[in-house]
Chains A and B, each alone.
Chain A
Amino acid sequence: MNWTKKDLLGIRELSKEEILLVIDTAASFKDISRREVKKVPTLRGKTVITLFYEPSTRTRTSFEIAAKRLSADTINISSSTSSYVKGETLKDTARNLESMRPDVTVVRHNMPGAPHMLSKILDSSIVNGGDGAHEHPTQALLDLYTMREKKGRIDGLKVVIIGDIAHSRVARSNIFTLSHFDTEIVCAGPPTMMPPYLEDLGVKVEYDINKAVRNADVIMMLRIQKERGGISFIPSTREYSTYYGLKAEHVKKAKKDVIIMHPGPMNRGIEITDEVADGPYSVILDQVENGVAVRMAILYLLIGGEV
């Protein structure tokens, strides 16, 4: 199949076929990053802007490296250097940037729907690099890629997502992705961080992580979204780590070949112990590596021409 969408706004807009197209395309790009000369001319002459209104290390760097490995030119704008602080609206900023003719703008914003708003007014492609607690599609795609790479399949997997589900765009996008497959999705965390109506998304809600991790194929840990007020939903991070910090004892309850994932940044000692984060089941750094391949695939599909 061919990619026909102008933008990548969220997983919810994608079909299963489109999701698979992205990760299949990513597989063909992964090798480039391991070559001695890590560059192909595919997107030569194209311009990619990353417009980030929220702090980011991984995602922004990953997009920039992905673009550069495809020979696109990249420009990074973060909130401290944009006109946002001078009172310019997002819409005006985006229109001004578009006048400079970028091909893709990757937007990260603390408010849900910001990329969707821009997609309606801009002709160039928009990639959602995370919008508030809404979606983080490239993260979910790289997570899916990593699961398939490590497990050889998606169907039949039990995936447990643990942490601040209410404020997590990673959780939402992963739920939307995994719902396309025959998976068992369990969300676990303190009741305050489980939004009402979560079950409507087809997931099981569990408060006790000891129960949640039983027979898990994949355990995905999330951090507390302090910037979205997550901290006021629990008495203390100390108490949180007692109940919801992933420890070796939990990993033992999962399947023998369980993989431990984390979208980063990790708060060691809070949601995950060093032992688990650096242990043999952890695929956290593989996720980061795969992120580059998945973002190369997205940029290629959006502006690279015919597959």
Chain B
Amino acid sequence: MKILIKKGRVIDPKSGLDEIMDVYVNGGIVEKLEKNIRERGDEAEVIDASSLIVAPGLIDVHVHLREPGFEWKESIKTGTAAAVKGGFTTVVCMANTDPVNDNKSVTEYIVKKAKHEGSCRVFPCGAITKGLKGEELAEIGEMYEAGIVAVSDDGKSVRNAGLLRRAMEYTKLFDIPVLAHCEDEDLSNGFVNESGSSVISGLDAVPSIAEEIIVKRDMALAEYVWSSLHLTHMSAKGSIDAIRQTKKGYRKITCDTCPHYFTLTDAATLAFDTNAKVNPPLRTREDVEAIKEGLKDGTIDIIATDHAPHELTSKDVEFNIAASGISGLETALGLSLTLVNEGVLDMAGLLRKFTENPATALKLPYGELSLGGPADITIFDPDAEWTVDKTGFVSKGKNTPFHGWKLRGKNRVTIVDGKILYRDKGL
């Protein structure tokens, strides 16, 4: 398939390119990247990208595709369809499936299924410990051979620091990071952030130090054994402050946050809206500002979605027993472009957190738009205004606290490996 993208504003954060150019894609490769590529009357599909931004395909280092085991919540097919709709060309899926992705047969299953049914590139994240139980190491080497790009017991922290140390040492053999969910179990018997909101709602609450303490522990461990650590879904000011400080002396640490952590506060839980129930919980205005500051000064490298689709029933119950999580792939770009509109980041700076930085952190050969490079491309309209409608989600998970929100910025075309895998009706 040949594609000619005309007159778009081509931004490649890695090379610093930011110009109106044409892009010619042939056979999965960016074959030409120059001004005024002439249509040669060949069979190339022409996309008029004037007033649109042409960027490297977005990468999401934290999604839950729910397959195998929870196909009623999401599948590799529907989850990756949601990804390309949202502008993502690569996703990293977490290991809390059933069976858990803690051995190569599950990794192989996911990789194979994604190849056949997936719309975008899928890289599994393997479990750190068998069954996510925090007791013994999973066979990380075999999973690595099968295609994992990181290990994580996402959903909880590895409680035993000695065991986590072993995992951090062992992963050095494969040069993959430990991706850490940071939550002190003993401090986190609750469902919302401990704050002025929880004191009103009476909901059992988790203090932000439950995250901060494990962030500090995990960074200390990583530095001690000189291992790569990626801290995921950061939500608290204390965590960001600690990461900023540690990064000054130790460079093998990266972290991500999610759109809901710089968009919503825990006030959203006052009406007991279970769509605002997420782990870690939504925090205070002060935390939101700290997250934005961290994005701005580079403390936070990456924006991920923590796409956590759930069926209606698991959210349509009392707050305490409702499932945690937000279906985030289809709103991430629109919500994140607010950061550009607010002046927190410039466009290249925002895109870097979706492309170059996640690719670097997980050592993926994507995240850039360069001559001769892979044709993973996202074309979006930064000014298009649209209203979030969960009923129109292609993800099976309609669980979003953003239903009805007006957003500015919408994905138009997603090209994965040189093929158009999503095209917005509005184009």
Contacts and interface: CB of A to CB of B under 8 A. Distances in A.
A7 interface: no
Nearest to B197: A197
Given A90-B318, A111-B318, A112-B320, A132 B202 contact: yes
Contacts of A112: 201-203, 272, 319-320
Closest 3 CB pairs of A and B: A113-B272, A134-B202, A133-B202
A153 to B, nearest CB: 27
Contact of A111 (B196, B271, B321): B321
Interface in B181-222: 194-196, 198-205, 207
B318 A195 contact: no
B199 A113 contact: no
A198 interface: yes
A116 B272 contact: yes
Interface in B92-117: none
B45 interface: no
Contacts of B194: 195-197
A294 B201 CA distance: 24
A74 B271 CA distance: 29
Contacts of A91: 316-317
Contacts of B318: 90, 109, 111, 113-114, 117
15 contacts: A12-B200, A89-B313, A90-B317, A112-B202, A113-B201, A113-B318, A113-B319, A131-B202, A132-B202, A132-B203, A132-B320, A133-B203, A134-B201, A197-B195, A197-B199
Contact of A172 (B202, B317, B321): B202
Contact of A113 (B196, B203, B207, B316): B203
* Secondary structure class of chain A's binding surface, majority of residues: mixed
A134 B203 contact: yes
A195 B201 contact: no
Contacts of A196: 194, 199, 207
Interface residues of B, number: 21
Interface string B78-90: 0000000000000
Nearest to B273: A113
Given A133-B202, A172-B202, A201-B200, A111 B320 contact: yes
Contacts of B316: 89, 91
Contacts of B202: 112, 131-135, 169, 172
Contacts of B200: 12, 172, 201
Interface residues of A, number: 24
A201 B204 CA distance: 17
Contacts of B207: 196
Contacts of B203: 112-113, 132-134
A201 B202 CA distance: 13
Interface in A122-152: 131-135
A31 interface: no
Contacts of B321: 111
A197 B196 contact: yes
A200 interface: yes
A197 B193 CA distance: 12
A131 B202 CA distance: 9
Contacts of A114: 318
Contacts of B199: 195-198, 200-201
A172 B317 CA distance: 23
A61 B201 CA distance: 26
Contacts of B313: 89
Best-surrounded residue of A134, A198, A201 (most CB of chain B within 10 A): A134
A197 B313 CA distance: 33
A169 B196 CA distance: 16
A134 B313 CA distance: 24
Given A111-B320, A200-B196, A201-B200, 17 more contacts: A12-B200, A89-B316, A91-B317, A111-B318, A111-B319, A111-B321, A112-B203, A112-B319, A113-B272, A117-B272, A132-B202, A133-B204, A172-B200, A195-B194, A196-B194, A197-B199, A198-B199
Contacts of A12: 200
Interface in A186-207: 195-198, 200-201
Nearest to A167: B202
B198 A197 contact: yes
